[in-house]
Structure 1
Amino acid sequence: MQVKQYDINGDPTAWNDYVLAHPAGTAAHMLAWGRAAHVSMGHPLYYLYVEDEGRIRGLVPLVHVKSRLFGNSLISVAFSTNGGPLFDNREVLALLDQECARLAEELKVDCIEFRNMDRVHDDWPCKDEMYSVFRKELSPDNEENMMAIPRKQRAMVRKGIKFELTAEIDQDVGRLYSLYAESVRNLGTPVFPKKLFQAMKDEFGNDCEILTVCTPEGQAIASVMSIYFRNEVFPYYGGATIEARKYAANDFMYWSVMERAVTERSVEIFDFGRSKNNTGSFSFKKNWGFEPRPLHYEYYLREGCQVPEVNPMNPKYRLMINTWKKLPLGMANFLGPMISRSLG
């Protein structure tokens, strides 16, 4: 068996076929995810795989994110909720770990971060109390899916329906990006570059869908980009105006994604993505009847380095967040991409 580096600009078939066949594979493991980060923000990719008799036996996609402000890391996978190593057996994992350690020394990174659903290394430092993921099986009958939503949350979905909101499928990222940029500014978070959204759309093709919610007057008030992977739908980048709250537009939006995914794509799993524990986003998803499942982020640390704490809960960043919320939207949109590309 040999560890090799995949040509990210070459034929994605062998890499993607392994991801699609592996039970722990996710949309973030697909070559499209890393290529979108590379094309839009220039981050180097180190997509490692183990080959045995011409077949892939395991892989790990690494994105190199380097910043004076946020550190120097190899992340599997950056700008996603998960994406840690996939492997056939522990021998394959050991080969991947060995090459990752060598690469860490060569690039002089502080650490390697594996974003896993479940623990892979019992002896590595691990964060398992910060993030949870929300996933749920769907019925092929949308009326059953509606009734499976707890009563209070179901009332919010019906509120959006009564307001006669409409869900439209956008072919470009324009409306999504405007709503997303406004939303994250209000949260005190720098916006990602528009190129990232376009690159995701280009790389995933028909498996990337943008749904925008409009009022009866035609005003766009909420929008979300979803990725389809196997039998799953994964609404990921989303945003809304402050006015959207009175229409229950976010509730209507996620129901519309769910409804459409079942009707148009026969989807069986709704992946609500990750949220930080004990936050508003965490409570919102739990109110839909989804049970949180802890994510396990594992770290290989070079000598003398510590587990990074790049998250909004870190007091070190509170002043920056509070200041960012007060910026004019135009300024936030100009400065945001210069900062967010280093967040990972």
Structure 2
Amino acid sequence: MKSMLTSQLGESLEVLALAEGGEPWLAYLETDPAADICHHHAWGPIFARTFGLQSLLLLHRTAGEIDGGVPLIVFDQPLTGKALISMPFLNYGGILGRDEAVRREIAIGCRELLKRIGADYMELRHTGTGLGPIADKTRENRITYRLDINRPADEIFKSLRKQLRTRLRRAAEQNLTPYLGNDRLDDFYHLFAMAMKEHGTPVMPRRFFESVLAHLGGHARMMIAYKDGRPVGGKLVMQFKDRATMTWGCYPDRYKHLLANYHLTWELIRQSALGPIHTIDFGRSEPGSGGHDYKSNWGPVEVPIFVDYLAADPGKIPNLKPENTKFKLAIAVWKHLPLGVTKLVGPHLARYFA
């Protein structure tokens, strides 16, 4: 017998465990231009192993064929209540559908799923197009940046702004050694822990990245820059279809002068140009932030992110922005803790900061 969380939600909608989406769901993702690595069914076992979180997949079928759906993680936060998020810890997620009618039907199913699970709200991270008036609330304060690299590397370099070309030449003068692969997690994680401490954010558990590299297979790789054998900067690159997304960048302040971020970004572009990757996704940032300034400098197309909320009580949708006074003090304290303490305590707290 199917459980309450693995059941039908009408004639066209079905709820199952995300990992059970398997090849049929992956085949649909290949056909939907809005689909991203964040929709992949492998996140089910990744979040289960790392945080013990339950994951769901709400599927829409027409004549037995999948033509839409949304992956969801059941997320219980002490400060904000029980939520369904698509997708936590990731830039994107949200509802996919063959057309607007399918997406609308899935959104209606999402409301029913909220009731069945007894969750307080649902957060859906859409790119390009949001739910519009269907949503109870929408945040539009972030964008992502996508650069077309389906051309020769020298042509891309010449198209960059003069100031950026100068920085890339300076980065080359640092004699950094780039690494691309999956077997130097200790170096990457040390850099990541340092960077998260400086941001005032609890560091993700090491086993999270172990799971990402294991379950996403060839879709995920680490990039690390070395100076005289010492790791000085890194990022994790996830590839899906013809897009490579840069995420979890880690560039500690003490090494910023080495320009490792510029070096690794250009190395990824140089290696990928005219290959199967046609687009580099720089990840999300808020307009006016340092991240925005860095990413927009490469001349990408800016794509809006719509974080849509559906809620049992629209008046009680939580404020999860860092400027919320609940988080300001915690961020300030975290920045001043010893690195060893943040690496020990952070993984136990990170699950509450999706």
TM-score range, shorter chain: over 0.9
Question: 1:113 Cα deviation (Å)?
Answer: 1.0
Q: Which runs of 5+ in 2 are unaligned?
A: 1-10
For 1:196, the aligned partner's letter is F
CA distance in 2, matches of 1:165, 1:5: 48
Give the alignment partner of residue 220 of structure 2, picking from 208, 215, 226: 208
CA distance 1:100–1:123, change in 2 (3 Å): closer
Partner of 2:45 in structure 1? 35
Aligned-partner SS, 1:12: helix
Cα distance change on mapping 1:291 and 1:51 into 2, 3 Å: closer
Q: Of residues 135, 150, 157 in structure 1, which corresponds to 2:161?
A: 150
| Counterparts of 1:89 and 1:292, CA distance in 2 | 23
- Supply the AA of the counterpart residue of 2:338: P
Shift of 1:128: 4.1
AA in 1 matched with 2:172: I
Deviation at 1:83, TM superposition (A): 1.0
Specify whether residues 42 and 146 from structure 1 end up closer, same or farther in structure 2 by C-alpha distance, changes over 3 A only: same
For 1:192 and 1:41, locate their aligned partners in 2 and report how far apart those are by CA, in whole Å.
Answer: 10
- Of 244, 257, 260, 2:268 maps to 257
- The corresponding residue for 2:278 is 268
- Alpha carbons 2:242, 2:279 under 8 Å: kept: yes
**Per-residue Cα deviation, 1:137-181 (whole angstroms, up to 9, x for no partner):** 113311112222211122112111111111112323221111011
- Are the counterparts in 2 of residues 47 and 61 from structure 1 also a CA contact under 8 Å? yes
Deviates most, 177-186 or 166-175 = 166-175
Q: Deviations over 1:242-298 (max 9, x none)?
A: 2321111111111112222226x4311110010122211111111222343321111
Q: What residue in structure 2 maps to residue 180 of structure 1? A: 192
Superposition deviation, residue 212 in structure 1: 0.7
Tell me what 1:107 maps to.
117
8 Å Cα contact 1:160/1:251 also seen in 2: yes
Deviation at 1:226, TM superposition (A): 0.3
The TM-score normalised by the length of structure 2 is 0.91
Give the letter for the 2:66 counterpart.
I
Q: Deviations over 1:18-44 (max 9, x none)?
A: 111101111101112343222211111
Query: Secondary structure of 2:204's partner?
Result: coil
Q: 2:124 & 2:31 partners in 1: Cα distance?
A: 20
RMSD value, Cα:
1.8
Instruction: With the length of structure 1 as denominator, give the TM-score of the two structures.
Output: 0.94
- Any conservation in 2 of the 1:176–1:238 contact (CA below 8 Å)? no
Using the alignment, how far apart are the partners of 1:67 and 1:129 within structure 2?
23
Aligned match of 1:129: 140
Match of residue 28 from structure 2: 18
Superposition map of 1:248-327 within 5 A: 248-262=259-273, 265-303=275-313, 305-327=315-337
SS at match of 1:82: coil
Gaps of 5+ in 1: none
Query: How far apart, CA to CA, are the structure 1 residues paired with 2:135 and 2:239?
Result: 32
1:195 paired residue number: 207
Secondary structure of the corresponding residue to residue 45 of structure 2: helix
Q: Distance in 1 between matches of 2:322 and 2:64?
A: 44
CA offsets 1:98-147 (integer angstroms, 9 cap, x no match):
33212212222221111111122324234343211111211331111222
Q: Does 1:96 align with 2:127?
A: no
What is the rounded CA distance, in whole Å, between the counterparts of 1:11 and 1:301 in structure 2? 26
Q: Distance in 2 between matches of 1:126 and 1:257?
A: 37
Aligned partner of 1:4 in structure 2 is: 14
Identity within the alignment, %: 24
Distance 1:129 1:99, change over 3 A: closer
Match of 2:343 among 319, 323, 333: 333
Most deviating of 121-130 and 37-46:
121-130
Contact 2:21 2:41 in 1 (8 A): no
Cα distance in 1, alignment partners of residues 23 and 172 from structure 2? 42
Give 1:5 deviation, angstroms.
2.2
Counterpart residue type for residue 244 of structure 1: Y
